[in-house]
Amino acid sequence: MTYYKLAEAESRFADLIWDNAPIHSPKLAQLATDVMKWKKSTTYTVLKKLCDKGLFRNEYALVTAVMTRDEYYAGQSVKYVDDTYGGSLPQFITSFVSNRKLIDKQADDIQRLIDEYREGEKRDD
């Protein structure tokens, strides 16, 4: 999984694109002006950076997502666990729940995810 580090403004702009894609780049520039108070040149500069990073594509003035928002944030989560907990998911979960109790539904949902993603288990997909 590839990790992309985005500045805060890039992240907000990426969310704007994901919320509206596919979108024609002139309309995106107007939207960025309205929502983010950016100049047209700023929009195209940041859009090019995000395209160069592989998140979006701008072809024939149509901006589309190469990576979904969920894929992006999944990569962010993996990177965080790797950097902060040495890649240990159990350590992360322990830290996350150490000062709170899980309600039954949360515990059941986590157990379902563990069962679903357990390595070596045969799944009925």
Say yes or no: 18 and 64 in one domain.
Answer: yes
Say yes or no: 65 and 19 in one domain.
Answer: yes
Angle at 25 between CA 21 and CA 26, to 5 degrees: 130
CA pair distance 105, 103, nearest whole angstrom: 6
Residue 48 lies in a domain: yes
Residue 75 lies in a domain: no
Say yes or no: 56 and 94 in one domain.
Answer: no
In 1-125, beta strands by DSSP E: 23-24, 56-59, 62-65
Domain count, the chain: 2
Residue 35 vs residues 57, 116, 122: alpha-carbon distances, Å = 21, 40, 48
Residue 100: both structure tokens together: 């709170």
Residue 41's CATH number? 1.10.10.10
What is the residue range of 115's domain?
A: 88-120
Question: Are residues 3 and 27 in contact, defined by beta-carbon separation less than 8 angstroms?
Answer: no
Residue 102 lies in a domain: yes
pLDDT tens per residue across all 125 residues of the chain: 567 789 999 999 999 999 999 999 999 999 999 999 999 999 999 999 999 999 999 999 999 999 999 999 988 899 889 999 999 989 998 898 888 888 999 989 989 988 998 887 655 55
Say yes or no: 18 and 62 in one domain.
Answer: yes
pTM of the model as a whole: 0.76
